[in-house]
Structure 1
Amino acid sequence: MSENSFKTTDDDSRARDEAAPEAGGGQALRPHAEDSFAEELKALAAADDRPRPERWRLSPWAVATYLLGGTLADGTVITPKYVGPRRIVEVAVTTLATDRALLLLGVPGTAKTWVSEHLAAAVSGDSTLLVQGTAGTPEEAIRYGWNYAQLLANGPSREALVPSPVMRAMAQGMTARVEELTRIPADVQDTLITVLSEKTLPIPELGQEVQAVRGFNLIATANDRDRGVNELSSALRRRFNTVVLPLPATPDEEVDIVSRRVEQIGRSLDLPAAPEGMDEIRRVVTVFRELRGGITADGRTKLKSPSGTLSTAEAISVVTNGLALAAHFGDGVLRSGDVAAGILGAVVRDPAADRVVWQEYLETVVRERDGWKDFYRACREVSA
């Protein structure tokens, strides 16, 4: 490649960088919670006259109100971020005000990550101190790493050390998050034991340690339904207060959750509003709940359940994809044909076993249900 080619590439790169919106601005595809709901957090902080733990942006009462929703004295409406039992949120918030870490446990799709992010945003004003757990997460992601150029040039020093999100949260008295803790290898998980019990993070290479300042705590999420799960050691589990997030208790509650999240996602993607598609949202939720529970809503017919979880999060995805189809290839109104393919993809994960379950459900339940003829035809068409 010629020198001029390199120059053109550099110029193009500079032009793209200058044209790009600032990080965290209104153009972000998925703004952080503290950015999306900045006005609500500001209003809560202004109205909040209750005691706040050290370095908390809000009192525990205000944090719970932020998650559960409510109306402030000045008329400001705080939208619900979590729809579920109030006591679960209160226990979670109270845990963060103590010296015990919080473990949000539940089957996939029960809003563990969503609740974790909003708790960190409300407590610390920053939800980005995050370690994403995977089978390949190294110990350095939880402790610290090194800038190897500086390490080789000058040897071990604080300048060469690259702090992890957990170390930064400890030093700043903020809330760290560890997502999918049970996906992290067991020996790496146990790196957290000293952090959570002694509230220190040793740096043996320097003969130093980082001590957590007041305000530090950690939220972890985990589930035991997915493959590749590593059980927590009893020593680590004792360092957490575990709060189990349940599936939505009623169909109406789940419909409310799905419609709210679809509306939020739709706004960020410039998709049409879904009021005229509420019938389809209710159908998606009904299908998921019946197949998930192994029985029809009226309790009369037992069903086989597919291999997938059919979570609320998956229902949100199905409806969002349906809205995109309606917007770009339809008349903008969510219809049965827009959600049928998404439902098929969510239900039939194992082509052999799940397809039998789906076909049986279509023919014995959907086909006979009053007012579902259009839905049955759409599902039959994509299932053929």
Structure 2
Amino acid sequence: MTVITEAVILRPHAEDLYASELAYLAEQDDRQRPPGWRLSPQAVVTYLLGDGDQVTPKYVGPRRLMEVAVATLATDRALLLIGVPGTAKTWVSEHLAAAVSGDSTLLVQGTAGTPEEAMRYGWNYAQLLAHGPSEAAVVPSPVMRAMQRGSVARIEELTRIPSDVQDTLLTILSEKTMPIPELGTEVQATKGFTVIATANDRDRGVNELSSALRRRFNTVVLPTPGTVEEEVEIVSRRVESLGRSLEIPQAPQSADEIRRVVTVFRELREGVTADGRTKVKSPSGTLSTAEAISVVTAGLALAAHFGDGELRPADVAAGMRGAIVRDPAADGQVWREYLETVVRERDGWEGFYAAARESE
């Protein structure tokens, strides 16, 4: 006998995962809301940063950056979030869309092969061949649907999209219309429509935005975490959230290993030890906060399924080496030098040093 169980979504959208918080904020929110918004700008910022009680923080960083981002969305300008990999650009984009319009799914994923149809519209070719161009034959893009609904459209990795496809946004962002010349008509944006795009600043020079397109965006640069404590908090929160989603038992004492992972990543990223006394070489990778989250999450899975449930140095050492050593020759040498000159001499890191050497 086959038992059919209801599918459990691995990664719910932000508006579903945090539905109770959004509902709570909407109920308490008595401030003015821009046309088409589910929450006021102040409540959107509270949703992102938390209130210390009912609302959990989604972003740990400067409040002013989030205020500028939200204020931008309340104007006729689109928002461009720029930062190095792992600075939560996609995460912030999703939560902004969820809080503003209650729908984070109107997404265009930018790649070198993203076609114009992904930004504007395509055609149902069966309808097109049978009846010719008609409204029924139009297949709307996420951007067109956002215009029709008065929602937020998200564009990931904008600078990876070919320049001629990027420029299809010019009329959409300036005139708030999308012409459909085949039908002699256009789609006009409903109030509430806006665009949030993200770009990796390491992609500069790939498909730079034209000056005309850049003028239509207000740019907010998301920085890497300013302090060890801030980065540890980010990693801890995201690891806890991912652990619940993946149903990985939480380690009772994982704070020390999380801080160790963050410390190693920051020192290698910045090229100097935390006390400023020893310069170290940096590897070729970015060593972002997102990668630290991945290393710790993998370590928790090892501890839960192949250990005693407590996160130990051996559980994170191998994953850390995998994140750091992208080029076996150059990065391998950087990692070995760091182990011998920094880790080996550090009090309380003997277990990590032994585990890291064993993973070589």
Q: Which residue of structure 2 aligns with residue 259 of structure 1?
A: 236
For residues 19 and 268 of structure 1, what CA distance do their matches in structure 2 show?
18
Matched, 1:46 2:27: yes
For residues 168 and 57 of structure 1, what CA distance do their matches in structure 2 show?
18
Displacement of 1:77 = 1.4
Deviations 1:181-217 (A, max 9, x none): 0111111111111110111111011111001111100
For residues 151 and 327 of structure 1, what CA distance do their matches in structure 2 show?
55
Matched, 1:64 2:64: no
Taking the TM superposition and a 5 Å limit, the aligned residue runs for 1:176-187 are 176-187=153-164
> Gaps spanning 5+ residues in structure 2: where?
none
CA 237–275 in structure 1, closer or farther in 2 if over 3 Å, else same: farther
Indicate which of 75, 79, 91 corresponds to 1:102: 79
CA 19–170 in structure 1, closer or farther in 2 if over 3 Å, else same: same
Matched, 1:29 2:10: yes
For residues 215 and 227 of structure 1, what CA distance do their matches in structure 2 show?
30
Indicate which of 250, 254, 269 corresponds to 2:246: 269
Amino acid at match of 1:321: A
For residues 276 and 203 of structure 2, what CA distance do their matches in structure 1 show?
28
Q: Which deviates more from structure 2 when the two are superposed, residues 269-278 or residues 196-205?
A: 269-278
Amino acid at match of 1:37: Y
Identity across matched positions, percent: 78
Indicate which of 76, 79, 82 corresponds to 2:56: 79
Indicate which of 262, 273, 282 corresponds to 1:305: 282
Q: 2:300·2:315 contact (CA, 8 Å) conserved in 1? A: yes
Displacement of 1:103 = 0.2
Q: 1:134·1:180 contact (CA, 8 Å) conserved in 2? A: yes
Q: Which residue of structure 2 aligns with residue 225 of structure 1?
A: 202
Q: 1:68·1:81 contact (CA, 8 Å) conserved in 2? A: yes
- Helix, strand or coil: the match of 1:242? strand
Q: Which deviates more from structure 2 when the two are superposed, residues 179-188 or residues 220-229?
A: 220-229
Taking the TM superposition and a 5 Å limit, the aligned residue runs for 1:117-266 are 117-226=94-203, 229-266=206-243
Q: 2:50·2:58 contact (CA, 8 Å) conserved in 1? A: yes
> Gaps spanning 5+ residues in structure 1: where?
1-14, 22-26
Deviations 1:85-115 (A, max 9, x none): 0000000000000000000000000000000
Displacement of 1:228 = 8.1
For residues 113 and 229 of structure 1, what CA distance do their matches in structure 2 show?
19
- Helix, strand or coil: the match of 2:254? helix
Displacement of 1:227 = 8.5
For residues 303 and 246 of structure 1, what CA distance do their matches in structure 2 show?
22
Amino acid at match of 1:63: V
- Helix, strand or coil: the match of 1:225? helix
Q: 1:169·1:176 contact (CA, 8 Å) conserved in 2? A: yes
Amino acid at match of 1:189: Q
Amino acid at match of 2:329: A
For residues 294 and 203 of structure 2, what CA distance do their matches in structure 1 show?
18
Q: 1:263·1:274 contact (CA, 8 Å) conserved in 2? A: no
Deviations 1:227-254 (A, max 9, x none): 8831111111110000000000000000
Deviations 1:261-282 (A, max 9, x none): 0000000111122440111100
Question: After TM superposition, what 4+ stretches of structure 1 lie above 2 angstroms from structure 2?
Answer: 18-21, 226-229
Indicate which of 286, 296, 313 corresponds to 2:273: 296
Amino acid at match of 2:359: V
Displacement of 1:47 = 0.1
Q: Which residue of structure 2 aligns with residue 6 of structure 1?
A: none
For residues 66 and 274 of structure 1, what CA distance do their matches in structure 2 show?
28
Matched, 1:322 2:322: no
- Helix, strand or coil: the match of 1:276? coil
For residues 255 and 108 of structure 1, what CA distance do their matches in structure 2 show?
17
For residues 380 and 166 of structure 1, what CA distance do their matches in structure 2 show?
50
For residues 270 and 123 of structure 2, what CA distance do their matches in structure 1 show?
49
- Helix, strand or coil: the match of 2:108? strand
Displacement of 1:180 = 0.6
